[in-house]
Structure 1
């Protein structure tokens, strides 16, 4: 394939391929005056590479006959349009008429040069073919763009599904699926299928067609046949479009059963635009949901501040007046205790608001040693803490220690072996004879106690900001969840084999102790 840059006016950015076993200089001159031109004079006709690189293909009668003798699925939506330049041949005319996306320009049989009218007709047909090819996908994509841009949060998923169906049909595909790209696998999030739907929900990265060779490099992947695509349920030609947002591969848009062989670059570009529309819509929706969560969080903060600070403020106000009247030092002690209570609330709020989901530099940390250090800063009173050999993890030592401090403090505060404290009572740390155990699990670690446990109906709510059944701040377990999720792990509450509550942290990857030295703050 040899590129030729057009030297004339008004041809725009169209890229035209010209294929002939006996190239006609007059035709080439006419095309080069208007377009960017690539040529191929191979006896077997235009190559797959030429067809996929141009917006329109101009061929002579012999080249068209060779194309027409190939598989019929070379034509269809998304395939490159063809303009045939030939003399008066009824059989050829009928063949061109039967082929979708093909047009015929009769050239004069007298003289070696194209007459101006023939040259104009040729370029007009090329312009028309390019416009129609653009409209075939461009108009549906434009319609989908308007709907996605105006989608309310609860309409996003439905409109994306509709967009996949609309563009997939315009492209002539049998199915269209959007995958969310994770670290190890691609998960199908939205899809449309003209035939039976796909049966898989996710695909390992190494098994997804063209991922490492093309998609991971932000390039489209096209295959007429691919064994990996067939295993996933994609029959026929397969096209995968990377959706890149802020230089990150976020999603992959996959089409199966695509007719016409390799689509031209212009079609892949428009499919890329469609993928970008979906990607930015999902990014906008994700951001909207994050803002909603932040607003809900701020509302909970406001509720905690309004409720939890009101009581100590009332104590300070009341006992200040009493102290001024009586002059009794005991009243000042109560004022000091109320002020300490306020300080604890503000410190926990500061932790949640300022640090939020941030995690500092991670390093190998011995969990057992970190728990030992955490217990030193918690008033455990009569409680006992047993620490097993948990292992070493990659973590922010300061934040993980903070999580263990709050877990141990929670066990002490709520772990009295008597009935669970009521809403108006507290368990003094020195009076809590609870036993606490920290141990390793199959994919993380757990903190157990032998206290009264947590009712099943409350096991999700206890991690919310401000949730408490005692006089504490109600922020400790929320801090635990924030720290754990910031590390990419998960935390849950369940029954303990000791008879009380159990907090399990899962999704943890342990570090090879022999290969890495342990570090603690």
Structure 2
């Protein structure tokens, strides 16, 4: 310090009983005043001397210490605040940026040493008497960046990376030495840069200390990670804008929770629609037929009542199935396509329809939900492909045949499986909408079956599309046995039917063997 700085006045605000360690590392000649709570800061600043620096202790990112910078700024806005902490934690450095402290100095909780505190206080006092008015400069953030548990960086005014910590480099999948000096566009999208620039412009115009912006972080592996950045402007020694500092938090889990909540809300709306409309129709039929049966004594009215009750049961079953969807699959196991398809087929009223399975491969899936997928696809094939008076499509004159097999990509690599039938098929202009809630090709359908299928696919992270069901053109292994629902076997493709039909292809699936 220069001679005129020999007796700095320092206020210590000790919120975590670390004052002894702090005072040990303050200048011997300093005039030190101490208070034990943030609530006492205003009185100390108002009644005491003009302080050269305030040192506050804290450990919790949302702790009492966060009130101190604001309290100091009210009465002595140019006085710098330094945060000293015996336990940094993951997010304390990020909180320090948001609270607009000029430096972050860890304390050794066992030895009581604080090698960075004396330098941080000295630098803060010098900065506080400069035109920057105590605001943090690029150099002030070096300790913050190095000690932050979350990814943290400093950009210059041109948007080039000046500082970053190991956590930041690891998040983008590169080394610190490789990315320092790079343009920010290397790590994020143009839309994210524009959002951050707009936030910084707002901070510079309104004088606020920080802002929070959502961005997409780009990694060396070409992944896009949703993140939240706490931004603050950085100034040079003359108080001019010199760049920005940011603390990055991965909000992927939060985004997924938000999306799951949105899907859940959509489901609630669907349930309300089904209960208020779809269930009301058969209920009114049952009520009306019961009244007629009482009046006339004719037994045939009870058949209509029974049919209405069956319809209501189908709707309730589909609603319960839909309620279980939308939750991401967290545990999978190898599941035999042949076994799970047969089990699903046995639980569906398939009439005279015939099932053929052309593979005995296993896939990585949740067995229960995979079976539910097959049940709904089988029910769809049977209801739309077999002779019926309720279909909006032209029905087959013979019982439908259904086939399950593998889908291949590239050089014969299995990428998933399909369920195909030789029924009337699905018009090309309807193939995207069939998975929407409420879409049904029959008067008797609930419009939930294929919506459930899509939810199962999404929950596994798979993909699904509708194609023509022309079986002769499918790619199957010539040495793969054909397994029919009656247990017989025949070479694959030996008795392929020639109908067009519909083919649901589920891809992005891990085929085990």
TM-score, scaled to structure 1: 0.50
Residues 221 and 401 of structure 1: is their aligned pair in 2 closer, same or farther, counting only changes over 3 Å?
closer
How far residue 271 of structure 1 moved from its aligned partner, in angstroms, is 1.4
How far residue 363 of structure 1 moved from its aligned partner, in angstroms, is 1.6
**8 Å CA contact retained: 1:452, 1:500:** yes
How far residue 303 of structure 1 moved from its aligned partner, in angstroms, is 2.2
**8 Å CA contact retained: 1:491, 1:503:** yes
Residues 292 and 123 of structure 1: is their aligned pair in 2 closer, same or farther, counting only changes over 3 Å?
closer
Aligned to 1:433: 399
Question: Alignment partner of 1:409: what SS?
Answer: helix
Residues 390 and 215 of structure 1: is their aligned pair in 2 closer, same or farther, counting only changes over 3 Å?
farther
| 2:157 aligned with 1:172 | yes
Aligned to 2:337: 367
Q: Note the aligned Cα RMSD (angstroms).
A: 5.4
For residues 333 and 455 of structure 1, the distance between their equivalents in structure 2, rounded to whole angstroms, comes to 35
For residues 12 and 219 of structure 1, the distance between their equivalents in structure 2, rounded to whole angstroms, comes to 38
How far residue 136 of structure 1 moved from its aligned partner, in angstroms, is 7.8
Question: Alignment partner of 2:246: what SS?
Answer: helix
Aligned to 1:447: 419
**8 Å CA contact retained: 2:363, 2:510:** yes
How far residue 481 of structure 1 moved from its aligned partner, in angstroms, is 1.0
Question: Alignment partner of 2:318: what SS?
Answer: helix
Aligned to 2:205: none
Q: Deviations over 1:97-140 (max 9, x none)?
A: xxxxxxxxxxxxxxxxxxxxxxx9997424345855527899xx
- Gap runs ≥5 in structure 1: 1-5, 14-26, 37-54, 57-79, 82-119, 139-166, 177-209, 235-242, 261-266, 514-521
Q: Deviations over 1:183-207 (max 9, x none)?
A: xxxxxxxxxxxxxxxxxxxxxxxxx
For residues 9 and 414 of structure 1, the distance between their equivalents in structure 2, rounded to whole angstroms, comes to 82
How far residue 313 of structure 1 moved from its aligned partner, in angstroms, is 1.3
Aligned to 1:508: 509
Residues 432 and 135 of structure 1: is their aligned pair in 2 closer, same or farther, counting only changes over 3 Å?
farther
**8 Å CA contact retained: 1:375, 1:405:** yes
**8 Å CA contact retained: 1:412, 1:432:** no
Aligned to 2:451: 478
For residues 480 and 351 of structure 1, the distance between their equivalents in structure 2, rounded to whole angstroms, comes to 10
Residues 352 and 7 of structure 1: is their aligned pair in 2 closer, same or farther, counting only changes over 3 Å?
farther
2:246 to 239, 263, 271: 271
Q: Deviations over 1:135-155 (max 9, x none)?
A: 7899xxxxxxxxxxxxxxxxx
For residues 276 and 296 of structure 2, the distance between their equivalents in structure 1, rounded to whole angstroms, comes to 30
| 2:392 aligned with 1:422 | yes
**8 Å CA contact retained: 1:383, 1:412:** yes
Matches within 5 A, 1:207-226: 214-215=167-168, 223-225=176-178
| 2:463 aligned with 1:490 | yes
**8 Å CA contact retained: 2:420, 2:503:** yes
**8 Å CA contact retained: 1:390, 1:445:** no
> How many residue pairs were aligned?
329
Residues 216 and 406 of structure 1: is their aligned pair in 2 closer, same or farther, counting only changes over 3 Å?
farther
Question: Alignment partner of 2:352: what SS?
Answer: coil
More helix by share: 1
Aligned to 1:23: none
Residues 496 and 311 of structure 1: is their aligned pair in 2 closer, same or farther, counting only changes over 3 Å?
same
Aligned to 1:134: 136
Residues 252 and 331 of structure 1: is their aligned pair in 2 closer, same or farther, counting only changes over 3 Å?
closer
Aligned to 1:46: none
Residues 175 and 456 of structure 1: is their aligned pair in 2 closer, same or farther, counting only changes over 3 Å?
farther
Matches within 5 A, 1:227-376: 251=226, 270-272=245-247, 275-276=248-249, 291-357=261-327, 359=329, 361-376=331-346
Matches within 5 A, 1:456-471: 456-470=428-442, 471=444
**8 Å CA contact retained: 1:384, 1:435:** yes
**8 Å CA contact retained: 2:286, 2:305:** yes
TM-score, scaled to structure 2: 0.51
Segment of structure 1 superposing worse, 221-230 or 298-307: 221-230
- Gap runs ≥5 in structure 2: 1-6, 15-25, 33-52, 56-80, 83-101, 104-120, 141-151, 188-213, 216-223, 236-241, 409-414, 472-499
